[in-house]
A and B are shown apart, each in its own frame.
Chain A
Amino acid sequence: MNANHGDPGVVQLLGQELRIRDAMNRRVVTISSRTPMSELRPTLRAHRIAGIPVMDDGKLVGVISVEDMVNWITDGAVACPVAERMTRSPRALYADETLVHAINEFRKFGFFHFPVLDRDSGEVVGVVTREDVIQCLLKRLEIDYHEEGIRHYRASHIFEDIVADKSALLFHYYIIGQDFEKAGSSSSGLKKTLQRLGIHPDIVRRVAIATYEAEMNTVIYARTGELIAKVDTNQIRVEIEDFGPGIPDIAAALKPGFSTAPDWVRNLGFGAGMGLGNIQNCADEMNITSTVGKGIHLEITIAINKERVKYETKKDR
């Protein structure tokens, strides 16, 4: 199974979603530019920080860091105010900017911390360090994935824990005809289940779209139906059987645009004669048979592990 752990895309998206205000430290320690340099060290030490925003009359005028202090000592530690050794017109970030922006700024300037300003008032509302950004991302990942992650972990290891020459999971769903409220709930249930099994999102989406189209067809045309999904380590095979009028001419039904849908179905945004085509598009294999007056049997196969599928199906037959 393709587990989705360690997907760099997740962190990238979180970095765009999360703002600097989510990561920053709101307890800002500042000093005045008139503070003597000799008093800087105890302040940095007391708060265990590597840099301090320098504020005069509520305005950010500079940043003074451990590096500035070391340089000052190297230069002979001549008594002077912070104003003479600080970095003027410092780089600052805005609280509403994304974490990705912060990460880029850290990389670009090689700084370890930035003062954070409120965009409207221009006031310093926090300080953000590289560590804050990492902590924030880790925390969010933990919250987002903790619960689902436990289920996901257990589920995706099912196949490893089973001792058998061959094993498969079977999921069975019932579909009720004409029930537009519940329509799609089987596909939704299967989708969630496949996600929890740790199957790759692209494959889950293809299965979801194919089964949803088939489920809608059943709801629209048939009295009842069943959806059975068989999942093994190589493929997902879905069978949808409905009890309804059936399709007299399957070749015609497969042609794009062919539809016998009534107006109420078309008004809902379906019935444009695309359903079977969409299913075919998502499936690696599709097989449809029908008996008029009885119903339709649709079989869809989507490979999880492309290289090994052929071998498996050959053995199956």
Chain B
Amino acid sequence: MTVADVKAALDAEIIGAGDPETVVLRACACDLLSDVLRCVTREKAILLTNLTHLQTVRVAEMVDAAAVCYMRGKRPGDDVIRLAEEKGMVLLTTKMTSYEASGQLCRLGLSGCEHD
């Protein structure tokens, strides 16, 4: 699945210069960033979150995630967008809640991340 597929499924918008052809292999809906870091597989994951600060991108970077999608129409600040562009991280925003977005992605067959 690519970011373009996620974008269509969540009726989302790509923020900044993210590449829609970026591959997404799994998803993780989480607002506790320590939980995102406690992982076995998060490579090429899309992180669905209600947080919008800079550390959402930092955490995604540390775990080799591919994209971050902000829920309920939230948008991060310019500093976050700049960092994401620098790191090649795709940012999206959707009007859906985490619950709805997770449901949509699940239906498309996108799996979750493995936990320890």
Residues of A in contact with B (beta carbons under 8 Å apart): 13, 16-17, 19, 180-181, 183-184, 187-188, 191, 201, 205, 208-209, 212-213, 216, 268-272, 274-275, 277-278, 281
Residues of B participating in the A interface, judged by any CB pair closer than 8 Å = 2, 21-23, 31-35, 37-39, 43-44, 49, 51, 53-56, 58-59, 61-64, 79, 87, 116
Q: Considering only CB atoms, which chain B residue lies closest to A17 in the complex?
A: B23
Residues of B within 8 A of A212 (CB): 37, 58-59, 62
Complex contact B31–A269 (CB within 8 A): yes
In the complex where A17-B21, A181-B79, A269-B51 touch, is A213 in contact with B37 (Cβ < 8 A)? yes
Residue of A nearest to B56 (CB): A269
B2 and chain A: residue at smallest CB distance? A17
B32–A16 CB distance below 8 A: no
Q: How many angstroms from the CA of A19 to the CA of B21 in the assembled complex?
A: 9
Known A-B contacts: A184-B61, A268-B51. Give 18 more (CB < 8 A): A17-B2, A180-B55, A183-B54, A184-B62, A188-B61, A188-B62, A188-B87, A191-B62, A208-B62, A208-B63, A209-B63, A268-B33, A270-B33, A270-B55, A272-B32, A272-B35, A278-B34, A278-B37
Q: What B residues does A191 contact at CB under 8 A? A: 61-62
Identify which of A16, A180, A274, A275 contacts B54 (C-beta below 8 A): A180
Provided the pairs A17-B21, A17-B23 are in contact, do residues A274 and B34 lie with their beta carbons within 8 angstroms? yes
Q: How far is the CB of A187 from chain B (nearest CB, A)?
A: 7
B23, B49, B54, B63: the one contacting A205 at CB < 8 Å is B63
How far is the CB of A194 from the nearest CB of chain B, in Å? 12
- How far does the alpha carbon of A276 sit from the alpha carbon of B53 in the complex, in Å? 22
Cβ-neighbour of B34 out of A17, A205, A208, A272 (below 8 A)? A272
Most chain B C-beta atoms within 10 Å of own C-beta, residue among A184, A191, A209, A269: A269
Indicate whether A181 sits within 8 Å of B54 (C-beta atoms), given known contacts A17-B23, A212-B62: yes
